[in-house]
C-alpha cells in the first residue's frame, strides 16, 4: 500500500517518490499485463505501457475520492495497455487502408493516443464490419493478379515501395504501377458495393 504523502510528493514532481512507487508496483504491473498480447511487440513493451499507465495514475489520483490508489492504478494500467494494443492494430492496417484508396472512407478511426481507451461497437457494427472485410477478401482474390496479390500482401504487412521492390526483385516503378492498379481495382470494388 502506497502512502498518500508519497503519492502527493510524486504528483509535485518528486523523482524519488515516483521511483519508489514504480518499484513497489512493478510486480503489480507485470501481473496486470500478463494476459495481454501486443502485435509487433513483446512482454517488455507491454510492461512499459503498464508503467506509463501507472505514471498517469500517479498524476491523476485524487485521495478525496473513495477508490484506493491501487484500484485506480489498476484501471489506468489496463486502459493504457488496451490503448497500446488498439494503436498497434490500427498501425498494422494503416497501409492496407491507404491501399484501399477510399474503400474505408467515412469509417471513423477510433484509435489514437488522444482518444479514450475504450471504444464500444454495437453488434450490428461488428457484424457489418466482418461482412465487409469478408466481401473485400473475396473480391480481391478474384480481381487481383498473382503479382498484385503478392504486392498487396507486403503492403498489408506495412512494407514500403522500396522494401517491396527489394523483396520481390522488381523495380520501384513496377511496384508503384502495381499499387496504382490495385487502388483502381479497389475503387471499382467500392463502386460495386455502392450500386448494391
Query: What domains are defined for the chain?
Result: 4-91 (1.20.120.1810), 94-195 (no CATH)
pLDDT of the residue at 156: 79
- Phi and psi torsions of 176, nearest 5°: -60, -50
| Global confidence as pTM | 0.47
For the chain, list residues with pLDDT below 70.
1-2, 40, 89-129, 189-196
pLDDT of the residue at 53: 92
pLDDT of the residue at 114: 44
Grid cell listed for 61? 489520483
Amino acid at each position: 500500500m502506497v502512502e498518500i504523502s508519497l503519492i502527493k510528493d510524486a504528483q509535485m514532481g518528486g523523482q524519488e517518490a515516483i521511483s519508489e512507487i514504480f518499484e513497489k508496483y512493478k510486480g503489480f504491473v507485470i501481473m496486470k499485463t500478463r494476459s495481454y498480447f501486443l502485435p509487433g511487440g513483446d512482454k517488455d513493451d507491454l510492461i512499459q505501457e503498464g508503467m506509463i499507465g501507472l505514471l498517469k495514475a500517479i498524476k491523476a489520483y485524487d485521495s478525496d475520492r473513495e477508490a484506493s490508489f491501487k484500484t485506480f492504478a489498476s484501471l489506468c494500467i489496463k486502459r493504457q495497455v488496451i490503448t497500446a494494443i488498439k494503436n498497434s492494430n490500427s498501425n498494422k492496417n494503416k497501409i492496407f487502408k491507404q491501399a484501399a484508396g477510399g474503400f474505408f472512407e467515412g469509417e471513423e478511426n477510433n484509435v489514437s493516443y488522444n482518444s479514450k481507451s475504450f471504444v464500444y461497437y454495437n453488434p450490428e457494427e461488428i457484424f457489418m464490419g466482418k461482412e465487409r472485410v469478408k466481401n473485400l477478401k473475396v473480391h480481391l482474390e478474384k480481381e487481383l493478379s498473382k503479382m498484385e496479390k503478392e504486392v498487396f500482401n507486403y503492403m498489408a504487412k506495412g512494407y514500403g515501395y522500396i522494401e517491396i521492390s527489394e523483396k520481390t526483385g522488381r523495380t520501384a516503378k513496377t511496384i508503384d504501377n502495381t499499387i496504382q492498379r490495385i487502388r483502381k481495382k479497389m475503387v471499382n470494388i467500392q463502386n460495386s458495393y455502392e450500386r448494391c
